[in-house]
A = this chain, B = another copy of it.
Amino acid sequence: METEGQRTVSSQGLAHASGVTSAQVRKDLSYFGNFGKRGLGYAVARLRKEIRLILGLNRRWRVALVGAGNMGSALFAYKEFRRQGFDIVAVFDVSADRIGQKWRDLTVRHIDELRAETERLGLDIGVIAVPARSAQGVADRLVAAGMRGVLNFAHRRIQVPPSVALRTVNLSIELESLAFAIKALGAKATGASRRTRATA
């Protein structure tokens, strides 16, 4: 909205954009503070700033990427990370083919260097982009190196101590959700044509 020059937004507008009710929007935002004005809605720029503060995005995060394969390359090239405050400043792998590769101004390093590099570079977050069978081992190394958060792209449930934040990304869920939406649209279309026939 800010990019598009919109100055204010109502809780209804936020509800529409986010797929929840306007009551939920007001309730959720009021949990963090008093951001809106009755009848005027929310000032977009201020609300964005407040939400970034709530989310911990009012700083830059230093990210290590583990896995320099297809998924790792795609994540390294994903421009939106940097725009949102996440800088991939180190890339690790175990494969001799990949170690030493130049990725822009970075050199892919052996994962044995993870601990030393975490300290040297002040890394906060580790992103796991390795095959499923290696995911837990990488997670253990990230934790041992002192990472505060782990983002797992491998299709395997991994465990970290409660002091470390963990998110697992399952890209299949996006396609599953889409399949459900297609099915729902089909049912609606069928329902509509049935209704049309019934009326005719």
B-binding segment of A7-15, A21-29, A78-86, A114-122: A78-86
B56 and A175: CB pair below 8 A? no
If the complex has contacts A70-B70, A183-B56, are A80 and B155 also in contact, measured as CB distance less than 8 A?
yes
0 or 1 for each of A50-88: is its CB under 8 Å from B? (1 = yes): 000011110001010000011101111111110111100
Residues of B within 8 A of A171 (CB): 75, 78, 80-81, 169
Known interface pairs A86-B172, A172-B84. Does A177 touch B167 (Cβ–Cβ under 8 Å)?
A: yes
**Would you give the shortest CB distance from A112 to chain B, in whole angstroms?**
25
Report yes or no: A174 in contact with B181, Cβ–Cβ below 8 A.
no
Query: Which of A84, A148, A165 has the largest count of B CB atoms less than 10 A from its CB?
Result: A165
Q: Does A180 contact B (CB under 8 A)?
A: yes
B178 touching A125, Cβ below 8 Å: yes
Are B174 and A178 touching (Cβ within 8 A)? no
Per a CB cutoff under 8 Å, which of B74, B149, B163, B186 touches A73? B74
Beyond contacts A54-B180, A56-B179, A74-B75: 12 other A-B pairs, Cβ-Cβ < 8 A, are: A56-B180, A56-B183, A78-B172, A80-B170, A80-B171, A80-B172, A84-B172, A124-B182, A148-B186, A149-B178, A167-B178, A169-B174
User: Which residues of A are interface residues toward B (Cβ below 8 A)?
Assistant: 54-57, 61, 63, 69-71, 73-81, 83-86, 124-125, 148-151, 155, 163-167, 169-172, 174-186, 189
